[in-house]
Amino acid sequence: MPNSSKRAQFERVVLPHLNAAYNLARWLTRDDHDAQDVLQESSMRAYQYLDGFHGDSAKSWLLTIVRHTCYSWLEKNRPAALTTVFDEQLHGAGGDGPHADNTVPADGPEALLQQKQERHQVQRWLEELPVEFREVVVLRELEGLSYKEIGEIAAIPIGTVMSRLSRGRNLLQRKLNGTVDEES
């Protein structure tokens, strides 16, 4: 393919989804500069593999590349981010106990979120989720992708998408409910 038409194809296929790509990279790396580095590398890969794109969802295709690039990048530069030892008490009791997810604060989180501090906390709580839960929550809640699309991007079966989303939300829910203090 001549470079000029390849460039045009890049603009048509990749460019409309650059914000989605950056958003995912930023949530996975949790750092502006790291996310920009990953985006740069992902864009170059997307350009390189453009001939191989025949699917119907350019967004899923690009996000698959971004996710893969993020993981390689984190492995190389921030290995700790991938091996976060997750708090067993949180994790273990997170989703499966009978009372794990049915506590609702009297006024509901809407009332809690009126306080500015709480807003920052939701941001932080999501950032603190282990990466495998964080990515499915971001792809579902911020990108509005279907389980099928998320499964394709993260290379996991749909059942795993559902269970990770469920675990991730349980953890956030417990934070929102204030049932887990910072020490536990």
Partner 1 sequence: MSCEHTQQLLDAYVDGELDVEKSLAIEQHLSACPACRKRHEARRWVRVAVQSQARYFTVPDPAVRRIQAHLDKAGGGGRTLPARWLSLAATAAIAALLGSGTTFWIGRTSSEDLLTQEAVANHSRSLMVAGRITDISSSDQHTVKPWFNGRVDFSPLVVDLTAQGFALVGGRLDYLDNHPVAALVYRHRQHLINLFVWPDDKSAAAPMRAFARHGYHVLHWSGGGMRYWAVSDLNPADLKAFGELLATQG
* Selected binder of partner 1 within 156, 162, 179, 180 (CB under 8 A): 162
Does residue 75 interact with partner 1 by CB under 8 A?
Answer: no
Does residue 35 interact with partner 1 by CB under 8 A?
Answer: yes
Cβ contact 69:38 at 8 Å = yes
Q: Which long-range contacts (CB under 8 A, 24 or more apart) does 176-183 make?
A: 176/105, 176/109, 176/112, 176/122, 176/125, 177/103, 177/104, 177/105, 178/105, 179/103, 180/89, 180/90
Q: Which residue carries 């453009």 as its tokens?
A: 50
Query: Phi/psi at 67 (nearest 5 deg)?
Result: -60, -45
As measured in angstroms, the least distance from the Cβ of 138 to partner 1 is 8
Q: Which residue carries 């829910």 as its tokens?
A: 173
Does residue 51 interact with partner 1 by CB under 8 A?
Answer: no
* Selected binder of partner 1 within 51, 54, 76, 102 (CB under 8 A): 102
Stretch that binds partner 1, among 19-27, 68-76, 83-91 (CB under 8 A): 19-27
Closest to 78 measured CA to CA, from 41, 44, 46, 38: 38
Does residue 157 interact with partner 1 by CB under 8 A?
Answer: no
Cβ contact 172:125 at 8 Å = yes
Distance between CA 74 and CA 67 in Å, rounded? 10
* Selected binder of partner 1 within 49, 84, 115, 142 (CB under 8 A): 142
Does residue 114 interact with partner 1 by CB under 8 A?
Answer: no
Our CB check for partner 1 shows the closer of 85 and 127 to be 127
Question: What's the chain's Rg over C-alpha atoms?
Answer: 18
As measured in angstroms, the least distance from the Cβ of 149 to partner 1 is 8
* Selected binder of partner 1 within 51, 88, 110, 181 (CB under 8 A): 110
Could you list the residues that contact partner 1 (CB under 8 A)?
2-4, 6-8, 10-13, 15-23, 26-27, 32, 35-36, 39-40, 43-44, 47, 56-59, 101-104, 108-110, 113, 118-119, 122-123, 126, 137-138, 140-142, 144-147, 162, 165-166, 169, 172-173, 176-177
